[in-house]
Amino acid sequence: MNVIETIGQHLHDTLQSLFNSHVQLIKKAQLTINTDKQKSEFGDLSSNAALIIAKELGENPRAVAQKILAALKHPYIERADIAGPGFLNIFLSPEAFKKLATELYEDRALFFSRNSAPKQSYSVEFVSANPTGPLHVGHGRGGIIGDVLSRILSFLGHTVVKEFYVNDAGAQIHKLGLSFKARCMQVSGYDMAVPEDGYQGEYLVALAQECYDTYGTELLSKTDEFFSSYAKEHLLKNITTTLAEYGITFDIWFSEKTLHDTGAIDQVLEQLTASGYLYTEDGTIWLRSTTFGDDKDRVVRKKTGELTYIAADIAYVQDKVARGFDHLIFVLGQDHHSYVTRLKVVMQVLGYDPKRLDVILYQLVTVKESGLALKLSKRAGRIVNLEDIIKTVGTDVARFFYLHKKADAHLDFDLDLALKHTDENPVYYIQYAYVRIKSIREKALQHELFHKLTAEDIQKLQPADQLLLKKIASLKEHLESIQHSYQTHQLAYYTIELAQAFHAYYTHHKVIDVDQVAQSRARLILIELVEHTLKTCFDLLGISAPEKM
């Protein structure tokens, strides 16, 4: 355990000795690193432990805090105070800061990734766009959330499988085939209209020309199945290419069609019939989903014999659990809000714990240019594709801009800001901090006094350097929070804050000073730690770490 974790464990042990019968409350007690300059004046660490426990005991929080302080004795704690209604503020000893600095320097490869939580296996499904057209701007948001969450969970030692569910069965694929056939006939010289409820986009015109160049007049004798298959496969290939440009690859591309072809859906429906969760009424087969909190029972098979989406969902969830995952995570657009309940119902009818399944819902994305929102419509063919965004602003900017807001908040993607190469653009700002540190360190190497830095040097840090040191260390706290909350935007926020902390530090503190060798050597290691931490963030965010700008 590092210094902060050691103090956290001591606090936990102290609480357990004082309030042993309130184990669950003790687990909720938090110890937070204060990285804000103003807050740091009241303590390096703070805890809400007294407030949580006092509420349950019906006691005065400050009185409970006083009991905790009387028992809280540790060599890394210089002193502790009570603030406000009962917050505990802890000041670290000079030895604690020396120890923390040494740990960050010597153990940098594992400091942030070492994780005490039990190792779990995760299936993270995201994007999962219908293969009926190019990826649109909204898919970019779901893509970055799923990809960065997967990167963080893997970094913390968990097993993660990234999965794309291909909706390649059902009415939308049939409709795609009819739309594509019409376009192929048009390029062949025949007058055939695209179905009114079909896919009108120009992307099918280009694909039809490509198809005609290959098959020529043979197209006139091709079946509807040919057109559906050709369009689906080529559009899926386009999706794969766009995602690769966006920095996203998947471990599994799961075909919905296989659930139909292998009989997996029929088998699970037989299972649910036997267990009494399905019933038939007027020729329609229903799932008793209201039994598990749904607002209404759901149709599984229509009178016509056609299966609904939930039939495939049941088989798909069963397949996922059978593959041995501890947690199933779905990243979905906000228009799938009602889908959350249905997925939880599916878990329960199959006999699984619904807590093993989590859904991250993300809000809509509006693309703005010159202050005006661009109006988009997939069916009408008015689309700003994810590919367009990537080619316009670059992968780094696209990824960061999509993540730089909470998933449940509407996102305005400002193209004008994304194209700026100034401090206003957060991507430029954080990458410039990284490049600036490299430049400072290269300049320092011009002086032999600053060669061969060691762990002993980092222990010479002054109180003025401690705020930046705490900011570096706090990345671990943020990553462990994301591990449980899935709030990936926290990493984007932290990266900007670390860059801000470095820029502010460098403005007010001289790093290279030949008259202050010991101080300079310590500070050079400190900014090297900032560089390493920024690089760690860049890797988790999936953006590049430039050598020069």
CB 149 within 8 A of CB 379: no
Euclidean distance between CA atoms 89 and 69, whole angstroms: 10
Please state, as a whole number, how many other Cβ atoms lie within 10 Å of the Cβ of residue 506.
18
| Crossing angle of helices 395-403 and 137-155, rounded to 10° | 80
CB 212 within 8 A of CB 219: yes
Cα Rg of the chain, angstroms: 28
Predicted confidence (pLDDT) at residue 448 exceeds the cutoff of 60: yes
Euclidean distance between CA atoms 439 and 530, whole angstroms: 13
Write down the pLDDT at residue 375: 67
CB 22 within 8 A of CB 79: no
Which residues, including other chains, have CB under 8 Å from residue 267's CB and lie 6 or more apart?
315
Write down the pLDDT at residue 441: 96
**Residue 465 structure tokens:** 């350097």
Please state, as a whole number, how many other Cβ atoms lie within 10 Å of the Cβ of residue 95.
13
**Residue 428 structure tokens:** 């430029």
Least confident of 22-36, 65-79, 118-132, 524-538: 22-36
Predicted confidence (pLDDT) at residue 227 exceeds the cutoff of 90: yes
Cα angle: 13, vertex 19, 25; to 5 degrees: 85
pLDDT tens digits, residue range 467-508? 999 999 999 999 999 999 999 999 999 999 999 999 999 999
Least confident of 150-154, 199-203, 283-287, 422-426: 199-203
Task: Please compute the mean of the pLDDT values over residues 14-30 and round it to a whole number.
Answer: 81
Write down the pLDDT at residue 376: 58
Phi, psi (degrees; rounded to nearest 5) at 89: -110, 125
Place of tokens 């103003």: 38
Cα–Cα nearest to 56, from 14, 11, 89, 24: 24
Predicted confidence (pLDDT) at residue 513 exceeds the cutoff of 60: yes
Task: Please compute the mean of the pLDDT values over residues 113-135 and round it to a whole number.
Answer: 93
**pTM score above 0.85:** yes
Q: Indicate left, alpha or beta for 357 from its phi (over 0: left) and psi (-120 to 50: alpha).
A: beta
Secondary structure of residue 160 in the 3-state scheme: strand
Task: Please compute the mean of the pLDDT values over residues 327-347 and round it to a whole number.
Answer: 92
Write down the pLDDT at residue 20: 78
pLDDT tens digits, residue range 357-407? 999 999 999 998 888 887 655 445 455 789 999 999 999 999 999 998 999
Euclidean distance between CA atoms 320 and 318, whole angstroms: 5
- Give me the chain's average pLDDT, please: 93
Write down the pLDDT at residue 377: 53
Euclidean distance between CA atoms 337 and 7, whole angstroms: 41
Predicted confidence (pLDDT) at residue 33 exceeds the cutoff of 60: yes
Cross-strand partners of 31 = 47
pLDDT tens digits, residue range 47-58? 999 998 888 888
Write down the pLDDT at residue 475: 97
Euclidean distance between CA atoms 90 and 113, whole angstroms: 25
Cα–Cα nearest to 249, from 166, 162, 332: 162
Write down the pLDDT at residue 337: 83
What is the percent of the chain where pLDDT is above 90? 86
Using 50, 70 and 90 to split pLDDT, how confident is the model at 13? very high
Write down the pLDDT at residue 369: 84
CB 501 within 8 A of CB 35: yes
Using 50, 70 and 90 to split pLDDT, how confident is the model at 39? confident
Predicted confidence (pLDDT) at residue 201 exceeds the cutoff of 80: yes
Least confident of 80-94, 97-111, 364-378: 364-378
Instruction: Classify 426-541 by CATH class.
Output: mainly alpha
Write down the pLDDT at residue 28: 82
Task: Please compute the mean of the pLDDT values over residues 167-191 and round it to a whole number.
Answer: 94
CATH architecture of residue range(s) 3-92? 2-Layer Sandwich (3.30)
Domain boundaries of the chain, sorted by first residue: 3-92, 426-541
The Cα-based distances of 302 to 170, 188, 291, 298, 309 in angstroms read 13, 38, 21, 11, 11
